[in-house]
Amino acid sequence: MVFVAVAWLGWVWELYVGAALFVAPQLVKYVQDRFPNVPWLVRALPGGIVKTVMMMFVGTWFAKLVATRIANPATFVTEGFVVLSIPGLVLGTLSYFALDGRKWELNWALRIGGIVVLALGVAIVQKVVAIS
């Protein structure tokens, strides 16, 4: 990831911080079993396509927030690299506390909801639905 990102960012401090934010959850996996279990987080945290679509919304919102605060495009790219990794880091960190608990039972309502979320995700990617 660093070798790809350096082409756009250069060897700046934001590259190192962003890389550390991407690597940190991978290192935490080695001590995950020492974390306390929070059973209600198993149901609360999104997963699969719901997580992907939610991250599209949150990422777009964060990007717009950063864009309103930073006018220089070069600074936006480098600092955005760090800021835009924060939602994924938070969601990933919370998932380490959702080790064991009662999951949602699969029923027709959830299946239909999954199809709707999938359609929303496709519509966002195809720019049929705009996130504002």
* 91 assigned to some structural domain: yes
* 118 falls within a domain: no
Q: Is 125 part of a structural domain of the chain?
A: no
| Two structure tokens written together for 126 | 């195809």
What's the mean pLDDT in 100-107?
Answer: 75
Question: Do the domain assignments include residue 78?
Answer: yes
What pLDDT, on a 0 to 100 scale, did the predictor assign at position 106? 75
C-alpha span between 89 and 23 (Å, rounded): 10
For residue 74, tell me if it sits in a domain.
Answer: yes
Confidence (pLDDT) at 71: 80
pLDDT at position 48 is 77
What mean pLDDT do residues 42-52 have?
81
Instruction: Give the mean pLDDT of 67-96.
Output: 81
Task: Indicate the number of domains in the chain.
Answer: 1
Mean pLDDT of 58-87: 81
Asked whether residue 27 carries a pLDDT value surpassing 80, the answer given is yes
Domain of 62, in residue numbers: 2-104
Has residue 113 got a pLDDT over 80?
yes
- 126 lies in a domain? no
Task: Tell me whether residue 114 is in a domain.
Answer: no
Residues 6 or more apart whose Cβ sits within 8 Å of residue 20: none
Who contacts 131 (Cβ-Cβ below 8 Å, separation ≥6)? 56, 57, 60, 61, 124
Within-domain flag for 113: no
